[in-house]
Amino acid sequence: MQRCWLSCSVDIIMLAQLFILSSRGDVLIFKDYRGDGPKDAGELFVEKLKSSKGQDLPPVIEANGIYMLHIKCDNLFFVCTTKSDVSPFTHLELLARFSNIVKDYCGILTEESIQLNFALINELVDEIIDYGYVQTTSTKALKPYVQGDPTQVRSDRPMLGILGLGPGLFGSDMDVAPGAAAEKPIPMAPSGQLFRGAKNEIYLDVIEKLTVLISANGSVIRGEVNGCINLKSFVIGNPELQIGLSDDLVIGKTSQVGYGSSVRLDHANFHPSVNLTEFDQKRTVIIHPSEGQVTFMKYGVSGELPSALPFQLSATIEEVSDKQALDIQFHLRCDLPKSRSAVNVAVSIPVPKATTDVIPSIQGSGQSIEYKASDRQTIWAIKKIAGVTDTTARLRLTLSNLTTSSRLEVGPANLDFEIKDFVCSHLQIKYLKVFDRHNSYVPYRWVRYVSLSDSYVVRLR
């Protein structure tokens, strides 16, 4: 079998072990390639995870004479170990590619999908790496050597989740695709063929993550958007795709913005397979995608953001001395356009160490407040909030000892949310054209826009 090695300008990748763990620390997949690594590597990693006390682990850690490198994807940990002094970036890139391959073959990265496709993933692990040396990280190259069939997971999550709302369809027919339409495994038929009843489909996901720090008076201390465009292809052959981006797109912080320009990116990086010969003139990128998912563009915007921030949060804190308590009223305003809404909104508020009880009061349906004493946090959950609306919540914090510094221990608040059909950069996919000289078909073409919170922090004092 002819394989292509993962390119590396520093070292040839050599691993001792590779494994996948759930968010609870359960070992889902474990492969020991060389027999010289600790048999309890999974348990060692879980111990490091627990000792971090909720903080993010560094991507490279050392334990008992071995290096453990990991990434986290969709609440799953992909970990490899090695005894060699290696290039960490190369190994982290390998883990990222491995997670993408698993997603291509399973359709979705969840604990259930890993368990249902245990045999298939073990086949992939054996084919990707041989005695610790990487053989290939190409989804297409692996297909002839993988004999197992994937078991597709039926998504039972609510239709209001991330990318779970029906995307828009290019063309005259504006039907809505199922929320989990793109969360299916690649077809296991030989390359260039399609299973009977399967559709030729192409999905484009424009995903932006917001990193924001807001002061107590509402001014923005830090604003940053990191975005990417993911392409997932379920078409036969290897067609040429022409993807048109916003005509008024300007890249570069110091670039001059002409009259009417509305889309500006500080920087943009493209996948090596992307042809940019027509990008400067037409803002068109050309790509020949292989089966599976590829991130063909990453970009960022910082400083003054093109759009108003989606949320503003304020708090009023009053001391109730005779009852050893704090009364807090939160006011959350959604500044999205009227036609948009945010879902799965969660406002996490740290509370004082002396807190013994929390009595919540909320208005409206679809909201709840949970107090987690172990984390000293109160979480205000809102299923859905429409643009240009606001809502309030009240908390009474009972303290064992009310001091002058108690109110200073409240906050800062952290917001998590998902917004469909909205991106702060205003970047748009104008068209998607498919050219295939060897096959005649009209594929289904879908595009989705999603904004997520990466770190959306609001100071309360």
Phi-psi region of 197 (alpha: psi -120 to 50; beta: other; left: phi over 0): left
What's the confidence (pLDDT) of residue 184? 56
Tell me if 324 sits within 8 A of 317, measured CB to CB.
no
Burial tier of 245 (Cβ tally within 10 Å: 0-12, 13-18, 19+): buried
Looking up tokens 């309360």 gives 460
Tell me if 77 sits within 8 A of 20, measured CB to CB.
yes
The sign one gets for the Cα dihedral 293, 299, 302, 306 is negative
What's the confidence (pLDDT) of residue 188? 53
What's the confidence (pLDDT) of residue 445? 84
CA 30 to chain CA mean position, Å: 24
CA distance 267 to 226: 10
Partners of residue 384 on adjacent β-strands: 343
CA separation, residue 32 to residues 39, 125, 292 (Å): 8, 10, 27
Tell me if 175 sits within 8 A of 416, measured CB to CB.
no
What's the confidence (pLDDT) of residue 293? 80
What's the confidence (pLDDT) of residue 197? 46
What's the confidence (pLDDT) of residue 255? 58
For the chain, which ranges sit under pLDDT 70? 1-13, 54, 154-199, 254-261, 438-441
Burial tier of 459 (Cβ tally within 10 Å: 0-12, 13-18, 19+): middle
> Please, which residues have CB within 8 angstroms of residue 74's CB and are 6 or more apart in sequence?
108, 109, 110
What's the confidence (pLDDT) of residue 36? 79
What's the confidence (pLDDT) of residue 178? 40
What's the confidence (pLDDT) of residue 256? 54
User: Which is nearest to 355 in space by CA: 341, 340, 373, 342?
Assistant: 373
User: Which is nearest to 108 in space by CA: 293, 238, 235, 288?
Assistant: 293
What's the confidence (pLDDT) of residue 262? 73
User: How does strand 341-350 pair with strand 413-420?
Assistant: antiparallel
CA distance 414 to 416: 7
pTM beyond cutoff 0.85: no
